[in-house]
Amino acid sequence: MMKIGNVELENNVVLAPMAGVCNPSFRILCKEMGAGLVTAEMVATRALQHGNAKTRSMLKILPDEQPVSMQILGCDVESMQLAAELIAETDAQIIDINMGCPANKVHKAGSGAALARDPENAGRIIEAVVKAAGSKPVTVKFRKGWDDENINAVEIAKIAEQAGAKSVAVHGRTAKQMYTGHADWSIIKAVKEAVNINVVGNGDITSPQKAVQMLKETGADGVMIGRGALGNPWIFKQVAHYIATGIELPAPTAEERVAVALRHTDLLVEEKGEYVGTREMRKHIAWYTKGLFESNRFRDEINLIESSQGLKDALHRYLETLLARAAAEVTV
């Protein structure tokens, strides 16, 4: 169990915020699969400030996904404070500040990872968000630093703690690394040793064994999983169980993968409508079936399908192919 401010989590395994992925449909699945906390995709504060309807819709939270952390992205006190005030009125239980996104369009605007390059402004923003959040705890997610010559994760963590943040999440890569190379877990350890608030480690958690290894090497209070959960929401249950018992749960079967993909399709289409939901679901199905027999061919097939029923029919046919192949291997 882990506690962030006044919010108690069932375990210390957290879904990382991922743009274009962490909508309510995906968050519900991850919660059902054992995530102690799910984080929404980043919400641009200036778009909120200007009343953008699409951005406002991103504040939607469903009862089945609680507890939820809502992440905000911006670089000025006014818009970040306003966003925190708006989120304080929602069902989100935690407000997270994005100071780690390395995307060009984000950091060129001074937000995301670029905000961590300006510690003074970052401190002002965190303090303003904490005040505007009311009783909701505020967390901050950031990276090791900007590049190998500018490593400041420890400094940012201390600033976040002083400004009132209740927890920080540290990705062990620099902004310049993007998602290449390996995450440096030693920086997570350095942050943990420098502050007295919760520290959650992020980067390269793709298995229960790696999660436990990170916790042991860094002393972190929890682990945050992003890309390792794509097409694999089971990882939360596997990691939480392994941390608690040291016992490894079995990998999902082909039937389980397809069943969850089918449910995900229904959830996403219900949330976003037939046109958008179908097209967004294509990438998820590719992730769910990655590594299975002829998955590349199947991915090419589904990328041409334009209806949710078509996607579901294709999934059923694909499962039949997988089961027939497995049966044939047994009889050989």
Q: In sequence order, which ranges of 145-200 are alpha helices (DSSP H)?
A: 153-163, 185-194
Q: What is d(CA 52, CA 68) in angstroms, rounded to the nearest whole number?
A: 22
Q: What is d(CA 281, CA 20) in angstroms, rounded to the nearest whole number?
A: 11
State how beta strands 37-39 and 138-147 pair: unpaired
Give, in order, the Cα–Cα distances in Å from 253 to each of 30, 168, 296. Answer: 17, 35, 18
Radius of gyration of the chain (CA): 20
SS3 of residue 44 by DSSP = strand
Query: Which helix (H) or strand (E) element contains residue 73?
Result: strand 68-73
**58 residue type, one letter:** M
Q: What number of CA atoms fall less than 13 Å from residue 235's CA on the CB side? A: 25
Burial of residue 121 (CB within 10 Å: 0-12, 13-18, 19+) is middle
Whether the upstream peptide bond of residue 67 has omega within 30° of 0, thus cis, is yes
Q: Is 101 a catalytic residue?
A: yes
Yes or no: say if 173 and 184 are a contact pair by the CB < 8 Å rule: yes
Yes or no: say if 19 and 42 are a contact pair by the CB < 8 Å rule: yes
Q: What is d(CA 25, CA 41) in angstroms, rounded to the nearest whole number?
A: 12
With CA atoms as reference, report the closest residue to 102 among 169, 40, 44, 177.
177
Which positions are catalytic? 101
